[in-house]
Chains A and B, each alone.
Chain A
Amino acid sequence: MTTLQTPAEGSGPRMVGAPPFPHPLVIRPHDERVRIYVWQVPVRVTHWVTFFSILLLVVTGAYIGDPYLLPPDGSIMRAIRFIHMVSAFTFLASGLLRLYWLFVGNRFSRWTAFVPVTASQRRELIKQIGWYLFVRKEAPRVLGHNALAAGTYTAIFVLFLVQTVTGFALAGMHGTEPWATLFGWVPSLMGGVSGMRLIHHLVMWVILAFMIHHVYSALLVDHWERNGLMSSIFSGYKFVTRGEIEEARDGGMEIEELAE
């Protein structure tokens, strides 16, 4: 949505995403900001569904783990466990959709954006850590997830998986099928049912800690790079300079393709 002055024509502001025609005299400054479409609909939807289901899971899980504050009434525990289960299924559905999108989504949401498969991703990981530790002045240029963030999300996905498996294994303990059959083997891996319950509980705390970090680093990068990162998880768009697009590890494609 940025504008650009073309001195040769002098015809005023113009959409960058759709130039009227290629013109050798059009000056396209490196620091001109353009709008690129990064997060597709399923990415944004699963992000928010996951967020809200985690919120419900944490609140209801806290009560189940240590029931207090709420006065005894009617069938409060039953109701809360019901909400916990419904949220768990919502969380699972959202996770499955995101899992599918790891294989069919755009370059920013595919699995290759998460697992540091290339050498440049691994170099970027080191650089990004350096930036966070204040030893590097510049953060590496990247349009989607930087390698460090991607690594963190991968770890969080693994924790989500642990929560899902231990959660449904706990449900299966009552003999509820198919969980009893599917996840009956889980407790033995975790030193018994108590160990499994402890892990389910501790991982919740780790996810809460991650949320703090996640919001902070998003604010930080948004502020630092002025690329509209915070709004991108609502709109899907980021605003980056042409220079960034050229330099970014996951950039370098035609702007037209990205601008939508």
Chain B
Amino acid sequence: MATVDGSVYHALIARGVSRRSFLKFSAAMAGALMLPAAYGPRIANALSTAKRLPVIWLEGQDCAGNTEAFLRASHPTVAEIILDTLSVDYHETIMAAAGRQAEDARKATMKAFPNGYLVVVEGSIPIAEGGIYCTIGGRTFEDTVKEVCAGAKAVIAVGSCAFDGGLPAAKGGPTGAVGVSQVVPKATVVNMPGCPMNVQNLTAAIVHFLTFGSLPATDSLGRPLFAYGQLIHDQCERRAHFERGEFVTAWGDDASRKGWCLYKMGCKGPETYANCPTARFNDGTSWPVKAGHGCVGCTMPSFWDQMSPFYGRLSTTPGFGSDVTADQVGLGIVATVAGLTALHAGGSYVRHKRDAAAPPPPAEAVEAGTATGGTQA
């Protein structure tokens, strides 16, 4: 693991990054953070002097997908080195140490930097049955998270599981999985949901932290606005096809070859806030819709349950089977009312006939009507 001596800039130079690409990176980060271009030099300045940041990366119930995203490197970019040169003092998946040695490294960092380290949490935290569904070194993950976050300068929850429980929290999950902010409600947690989160966004958030000493502004769900402030649908390159009413209606059809909109194939871009269309993945190569698959809304709360069916436009109606569409339910409501109406019309007809056959009521009306207009009522 890297030590915390020296600045980020020095680490970069040591890795052969030119000053020019460093400045380009700073400007790009200003863009990613939706800051005016003038912030580029300020970011460069801050990174030049910033001490590298000790990081404790915790993993709970997860698939290590965010770690994969974090480590994903086709060629050494500045961003990658920024992340690389973070002093990741504890990270179960990538650290060489194991067992007691690893736990000691975590404790040493916490002791050496009281209130001075950054915590990244990946994966959900099971709290059912005392948290026994995930234990590390004989302690529940819940316990570890509480202890480590208590002394943290800032906490970043990466991926959908650390955000709100994610997949382990989907219907039927037995572990009582929750997100970080539910376990440590008092800590400043920035959520970076996604399955996985986009590493560019994590880099930008850390750069923000290094530059301004705080994590970026968030929405009501704790997601940074720079990355989660806009609908996918409002940034999508297929939006023009949407407006023109040009839709893919079957996988592999002519429309899909033409790159038309995936709305009818269940794309959840219209209900999902994320910057995938602009940030993209794998060094800006592509993103799901560009690759021809609809968004499944992985950055949204309880996305696995909320956004299903992934290949249908509307969710299914709670209480009805998962193969019953909302329109079938709606048509059922209308048909029921129409049927009852027809029945009632039949009944009314019978009543009408019966009343017509019955002798007329006594003509009490005539005797009662003696009041005059002036005195009536």
A contact set with B: CB distance below 8 Å: 16, 19, 21-24, 26-32, 65-68, 70-78, 132, 134, 137, 173-175, 184, 188, 191-195, 197-198, 201-202, 204-206, 208-210, 212-213, 216, 220, 224, 241-243, 245-246, 252-256
Contacts and interface: CB of A to CB of B under 8 A. Distances in A.
Contacts of A188: 220
Nearest to A242: B369
Contacts of B336: 209
B364 A198 contact: no
B313 to A, nearest CB: 6
A77 B245 contact: yes
B369 A28 contact: yes
Given A16-B373, A194-B315, A254-B376, 13 more contacts: A26-B372, A28-B373, A30-B365, A30-B369, A75-B244, A175-B231, A193-B306, A194-B307, A201-B330, A205-B327, A220-B345, A224-B348, A246-B377
B364 A65 contact: no
Interface in B210-258: 220, 229-231, 233-234, 242-247, 249
A245 B242 CA distance: 58
Interface of B: 220, 229-231, 233-234, 242-247, 249, 263-264, 268, 270-272, 297, 300-302, 306-307, 313-315, 317, 326-327, 329-331, 333-334, 336-338, 341, 344-345, 347-348, 351, 355, 364-366, 368-377
A195 B220 CA distance: 18
A255 B376 CA distance: 8
B306 A194 contact: yes
B374 A201 contact: no
Contacts of A201: 314, 326-327, 330
B247 A67 contact: yes
Contact of A256 (B344, B368, B373): B373
A205 B334 contact: yes
Contact of A213 (B301, B341, B347, B372): B341
A107 B236 CA distance: 54
A27 B337 CA distance: 46
Given A193-B271, A255-B376, A202 B326 contact: yes
Contacts of A191: 302, 306
A223 B253 CA distance: 55
A23 B372 contact: yes
6 contacts: A32-B369, A193-B272, A198-B326, A202-B317, A243-B365, A243-B368
B366 A29 contact: yes
A202 B314 CA distance: 10
A175 B230 CA distance: 7
A137 B351 CA distance: 9
Identify the 4 closest CB pairs spanning chains A and B, nearest first.
A205-B330, A22-B374, A30-B365, A193-B271
Contacts of B347: 134
Contacts of B333: 202, 205-206, 209
A66 B244 contact: no
Given A209-B333, A212-B337, A66 B264 contact: yes
A27 B271 contact: no
